[in-house]
Structure 1
Amino acid sequence: MNESDWASCLDDPQGIRRFYSQVPDLSKCDLFYFLTDERGSGVTLGFETSCMPQRGDYASESREFNSFEFYLAFLNVRAFTVEGWSGPARKSVTLAPGVAEEIQVTIEAPGTFVGFEADSVSLAKSRFALVSRGD
């Protein structure tokens, strides 16, 4: 599975593919939001990318912005493991189908490891934004 195949793990892959002909590599996005919800055994990850949408009306709408944010919501999370968390926001993020149709998720960087399985993942929210990058 290559970096852009993560969209095939989504309940509705068209949710993100309506924006992109080739979805951004999660490992090249900034993981700026990480929420665990023990009540519903869920995890939500928020990503920010300067890779702007290329499709249809979204491509023309994005001209006013320099960033695209999207959130992935994972349900029925189990086997949750955290071994450290450090900056920066850029991490190696992998979503892959497991052997029993679960989704395997890993987040890695120096000083960081997070792993878990989930029954499903969906695009929960997306939006355009203006971000000060300080480049």
Structure 2
Amino acid sequence: MSASELLGDLYESEPPTVNECELFYVHADERDGSVTLGFDTRELPSRPRAEWREKTYNRFEFHLLFSDVTEFQVHGWGPQEAREVDISAAPGKKIKVALGRTGSGIHFLASSMRLASARVYLASDAP
């Protein structure tokens, strides 16, 4: 299952890919072997949840939780690595996550991925 498929209920057509979103949050939890990635986008859901319909908003934020993480590696972290996100299928029904290019960034395998949270909010357009 791709990250876009997890957002499918919120969009009539194709939801934004993770590369069309801004990665703003990375949390590795060694206690339960998970990694959470947080993304933000201006591509608003065309089918918002009922609790969002009365709100004024211009941003959409969601978190993906990866479970049973193995082969977790960090080789530096910075703005360039945060802009290069690749989530793909790997052998053995695993999910391969690469934040950054080979040799830099964060890389790991996971057994599963789920949408941990999603919300809309109103953000200022000020720099």
- Superposition deviation, residue 89 in structure 1: 8.5
Q: CA RMSD in A?
A: 2.6
The CA distance in 1 between the partners of 2:55 and 2:46, in whole Å, is: 10
User: Which runs of 5 or more residues in structure 1 are unaligned?
Assistant: none
1:19 paired with 2:10, answer yes
Q: Which consecutive residues of structure 2, in runs of 5 or more, have no partner in the other structure?
A: none
Measure how far apart 1:61 and its partner are. Answer: 2.3
For residues 66 and 2 of structure 2, what CA distance do their matches in structure 1 show? 13
The verdict on how the C-alpha distance between 1:83 and 1:122 changes in structure 2, with shifts beyond 3 A counting, is same
TM-score (norm 2): 0.84
SS in 2 for 1:64: coil
CA contact (8 A) 2:33 2:67 kept: yes
CA contact (8 A) 2:81 2:100 kept: no
CA-CA distance at 1:112 after TM superposition:
4.8
TM-score normalized with structure 1 length: 0.79
- Count of residues paired in the alignment: 124
CA shift for structure 1 position 56:
6.0
Per-residue CA deviations over 1:31-74 (Å, capped at 9, x if unaligned) read 1111110010100001000000012666x828720100000000
